[in-house]
Structure 1
Amino acid sequence: MRYFEDVTVGQRASFGKYVVTREEVVAFAERYDPQPFHLSDEAAAGTHFGRLSASGWHTCAMTMAMIVENLKRHDEAGLGSPGIDELRWLRPVYPGDTLRCETEILDKRQSKSRPEMGLYRSRMTVFNQNDVAVMSFISQAMIRTREAG
């Protein structure tokens, strides 16, 4: 189990592999972000995307899937997140792309009001198969302290 005490400022990790499919891009767009450039190549051709592209919110969802899989693999004593800051969609994500994540711990602190809990901030960068950054954000995470466990 990974607790607050095990989190080190400056610590880096690389994880995940998510293959983006055309079917998933369209299905997500139809349900949550039905803008034309997320629904068809023809509509996207006349935009700066040039072809069908994933919604930025879909990119967030795919990233979350990789994060949760990584947390399960490392058995983190996570308690959720109060939010993210500085979300940026840097480049389009297209069907056929393969996404991966890199993260760095920026800082951490133990909660004064809830000593059984710590918080840390990390910078998440999502890359495609060409090592081009497509999205970044700063996440805040809550995690149990070892004493609470």
Structure 2
Amino acid sequence: MPGLFYDQFYIGQIFKHPIRRTVTEADNVWFSALTHNPAALHLDEEYCREHTEFGQRIVNSAFTLGLMVGITVGDTTLGTTVANLGWDEVRFPKPLFHGDTVRVETEVLEMRESKSRPNQGIVTFLHRAFNQRQDLVAHCKRSALMLKQDP
């Protein structure tokens, strides 16, 4: 099982996830269409060229968030998580563009045993996504309810 149990995490633990992903135009357009997001920032190259500071379409931030968290799952929570409890402090300090390659790092910020579920605990992760120029393009805190290996 690739994911870790609650007992295998420790505060300050850092994961440099080996999976990277180059974002394509198709990723952005399909995701925006599937989620009914008609924003010209994601879909209209001419509008962006004429009316935005970036001069090109930017990747849908919800896609960026999902990709960032998804890249982390195999090393952290795959098969050992009970539930994703929430995302906090989600930020996108720089835009992500078609053709950018995303890499992600995760840090374990907090841990506490569940008061109502003795065989589980809550882990708070800080996920950070970077493009190929090492610009921070997204970060968030994520809380997950995790199984204990030895309940």
TM-score by length of 1: 0.90
Say whether the 8 Å CA contact 1:37–1:49 is kept in structure 2: no
Say whether the 8 Å CA contact 2:48–2:57 is kept in structure 1: yes
- Structure 2 unmatched ranges of 5 or more: none
Is structure 2 residue 48 aligned with structure 1 residue 41?
Answer: no
Give 1:9's aligned residue.
Answer: 11
- What root-mean-square deviation, in Å, do the aligned CA atoms of Structure 1 and Structure 2 show? 1.6
Is structure 2 residue 57 aligned with structure 1 residue 52?
Answer: yes
Q: Distance in 2 between matches of 1:69 and 1:5?
A: 17
CA deviation digits over 1:31-63, x for unaligned, max 9?
Answer: 322101100221112112320111101111222
Which stretch of structure 1 is more off in the superposition, 114-123 or 62-71? 62-71
Distance 1:71 1:4, change over 3 A: closer
Q: Distance in 2 between matches of 1:30 and 1:36?
A: 12
Give 1:96's aligned residue.
Answer: 99
Say whether the 8 Å CA contact 1:125–1:137 is kept in structure 2: yes
Say whether the 8 Å CA contact 1:110–1:119 is kept in structure 2: yes
Shift of 1:71: 4.2
Letter in 2 for 1:137: C
Of residues 124, 143, 147, the one that matches 1:144 is: 147
Q: Distance in 1 between matches of 2:74 and 2:56?
A: 30
TM-score by length of 2: 0.89
How many residues align? The count is: 146
Say whether the 8 Å CA contact 2:87–2:143 is kept in structure 1: yes
| 3-state SS of 1:9 partner | coil
- Structure 1 unmatched ranges of 5 or more: none
Of residues 125, 130, 144, the one that matches 2:128 is: 125
Shift of 1:76: 5.1
Is structure 2 residue 30 aligned with structure 1 residue 27?
Answer: yes
| 3-state SS of 1:80 partner | strand
Q: Distance in 2 between matches of 1:52 and 1:18?
A: 18
Say whether the 8 Å CA contact 2:29–2:42 is kept in structure 1: yes
Distance 1:64 1:106, change over 3 A: closer
Q: Distance in 2 between matches of 1:147 and 1:40?
A: 53
Matched ranges for 1:58-77 at <5 A: 58-71=63-76, 77=80
